[in-house]
Structure 1
Amino acid sequence: MNPWKTTRLTRRALGAAAVAGTFAAGLPAAAEAAGRPWSDRADGFASLPGLGRGPTTGGAGGAVVTVTTQEDLNAYATAADPYVIRVAAAIDIAPRGTEIRVASNKTIVGVGTSGEIVGGGFFLAAGVHNVIIRNLTIRDTLMPEDDPDDKQFDFDAIQMDTADHVWIDHNTLTRMNDGLIDSRKDTTFLTVSWNRLWENNKTFGIGWTPNVTSQMTIHHNWFKDTVQRNPSADNIANLHMYNNLLQDVSAYGNYVRGFSNGVIENSFYERVHNPYYTIDGELVQRGNVTVDCTWDDGLVTSQGEGFDPRDFYDYRLDPARAVPALLSRFSGPQPGIGT
């Protein structure tokens, strides 16, 4: 039997359920971004109901608090009640590599460009849901003694283990000793948008599960000066990547692994080795631009039927050649968010 077909009925069922509750978020397209405030509502798969909950609203409806210390950040992030947690300073995390455990129904947002998590990150355990991590700089847990493989110290910026309904938006994630984002096990209803993922070895890993149930949207992210996992996406039922920018990537770019079903649209790749490919999965790619890229012989860059993301949600594509200028201006923390 064709291995792609083993999960197609599951994908169709997921699609039918999603269409019944589609939630239009409406992030700005290139022509509108400068003159329109950023939406505070998630788009993509994070905007959809599923698993008896959703869409992703974070701590909306809960108290709004402002934090400048690790103690206060930890207290509100781990609380049972919903909170909108405004990070208004650079917070040094101790001990180094600590990942603050985030409970359900939380928004953690930087105030303008002032919110930073330095020397630590966030962890979402199994069952955690409805979380927004937005407009932050999360940086600097590198351990020089762990070079070159980053295997001894598992210090991630954001790690999720079977979480759901998560929106990671407008952050700068850089120089972490393991992953910038690790979406592990069966994490689903995830949207990762408008982030800068820079200067890292293991950038964005997805998988660590035999199940093919997860649904993810990855759009308008800037991967720069990275090595591997940009992302490496294993066993994703529906993976939609569009309008991403990859520059100076040395090992590989978008790797659609296992039985993943991937669609890549209107992305821009510059000086990337193996910009996009699959082995066993389905991959439909269209509208992408590659500049000064290199490819290994025999890579499969298109295979299978894919899926139509518009069966799940509405979205607007920017032209691939507009992506570098667009992300140079509008990715990462923005002055108007969280204020």
Structure 2
Amino acid sequence: MRRTSKLVSGLTAAITGVAGPAMTAQPASAADSAPVGWATQGGGTTGGGNTSPTTVSSSSALSSALSSGSTAVIRVSGTISCSGMLRVASNKTVIGNSGAVIAGCGFNVSNASNVIIRNLTFRNWNDDGINVQYSTRVWIDHNSFSNGYDGAVDIKRASDYVTVSWNRFSSHDKTMLLGHSDSNGGEDRGHLRVTYHHNWFDGTNQRHPRVRFGNPVHVYNNFYSNIGSYGVASTCEAGVLVEGNYFENTKDPFHRGEGSSPAGNLVARNNYFVNSGSGSAGGSVGSIPYSFTLDTPSSVKSIVTGGAGAGRISI
């Protein structure tokens, strides 16, 4: 069954105690000064805080600054060409000056906590764009990703308290993986709690996100446009709340199970569909513990296209 320009209201499956009604009086800000969602938990995510910034414009300087054991605010200037993965240590804010580009490589946030990555354009990476593993309290915000090799933003191996917001993804296949393996439940159960909001999936193919074990994972107010394979997939004991999103020209907005991975739980409500399928949901999802603003689903396309991606915030 296909639906055109129709807002689907109410729960399509049972949900366990979503925290209070979301505030709807004001639209979400495209230039939040602090994260919303899971990155506010566990003590919050402040990155380098008010540390005096250091500006880098070469691969060697960037790599050195990212891996330093010191708290830091790192400003990226110009186009930095690199390969492989640059490790990001704890207590870092990495933020791009106007037009900053990371070309050919990605960031590996590994065994770290309290990391912010904002306002960067990642393209043509030869591994992942951003990989988060064994890390907590991470905010990935207002970046642009295109034409990379593997995942654009992959989060795995017991990582927790992450928000992915206001990013734009285009010209890419495997967009966002949450949980890398069906066999990694021993590490991942009780973790992999991530919020995805106000992202623009612009003609990408799959994994927006593909979820294992995380519960609850919150996917709200994203714009899905011309999606090739599918939008959201919940697998392997996951619990995913999909609400207030705008799906346009997306035959398969969301479903349970993917490939050889068994079905997880997925609750969908108040999504808006234009020339798209209606999705498949079932099961129950854990409660959302934080406050957030839910934009009117029919307005999400204009809000997200007007604010998502690098270069859309003042630095």
Counterpart in the other structure of 1:23: none
Extract unaligned runs of 5+ from structure 1: 1-10, 20-25, 142-152
Matches within 5 A, 1:42-191: 42-49=35-42, 54-93=43-82, 96=83, 98-111=84-97, 113-125=98-110, 127-141=111-125, 155-191=127-163
What is the TM-score with the length of structure 2 in the denominator?
A: 0.85
Contact 1:162/1:184, CA 8 A, preserved across alignment: yes
Q: 2:194 aligns with which of 216, 220, 242?
A: 216
Backbone CA RMSD of aligned residues: 2.2
Secondary structure of the corresponding residue to residue 32 of structure 2: coil
Aligned to 2:208: 230
* Aligned match for 1:257, one of 235, 239, 242: 235
Identity of aligned residues (%): 31
2:197 counterpart of 1:197:
no
Residue 7 of structure 1 is matched in structure 2 by: none
Q: Partners of 1:188 and 1:197 in 2: how far apart?
A: 22
Match of 1:303 among 273, 282, 285: 282
**How far does residue 167 in structure 1 lie from its aligned partner after superposition?**
0.3
**Whole-Å separation in 1 of the counterparts to 2:174 and 2:26:** 29
| Aligned equivalent of 1:144 | none
| Distance in 2 (alpha carbons) for counterparts of 1:305 and 1:101 | 37
Q: Would the aligned equivalents of 2:216 and 2:287 in 1 still touch at CA under 8 Å?
A: no
Residues 104-133 of structure 1, C-alpha deviation per residue, up to 9 Å, x if partnerless?
Answer: 10000012x3211111110012x2111000
Question: For 1:77, what is the secondary structure of its paired residue?
Answer: helix
Matches for 1:5-16 after TM superposition, within 5 Å = none
1:276 aligns with one of 254, 257, 262: 254
Preserved CA contact (<8 Å) 2:130 2:154: yes
Aligned-partner residue type, residue 231 of structure 2: G
> Contact 1:244 / 1:267 at 8 angstroms: preserved in 2?
yes
| Matched residue, 1:288 | 271
Deviation of 1:336 (Å): 3.9
- CA deviation digits over 1:315-336, x for unaligned, max 9? 0101111111111110012354
Contact 1:62 1:81 in 2 (8 A): no
Residues 215 and 285 in structure 2, CA contact (< 8 A), matched pair in contact too: no
Matched-pair contact (CA < 8 Å) for 1:164–1:190: yes
3-state SS, counterpart of residue 263 of structure 1? strand
Give the drift of 1:307. Answer: 3.2
Greater share of helix:
1
Q: Please list the CA deviations of residues 242-299 of structure 1 after superposition, one character each: whole Å capped at 9, or x if unmatched.
A: 000111111111111111111111101111131011143221111101222247xxx7
Aligned residues: 285
In the aligned structure 2, how far is the partner of 1:74 from the partner of 1:61?
21
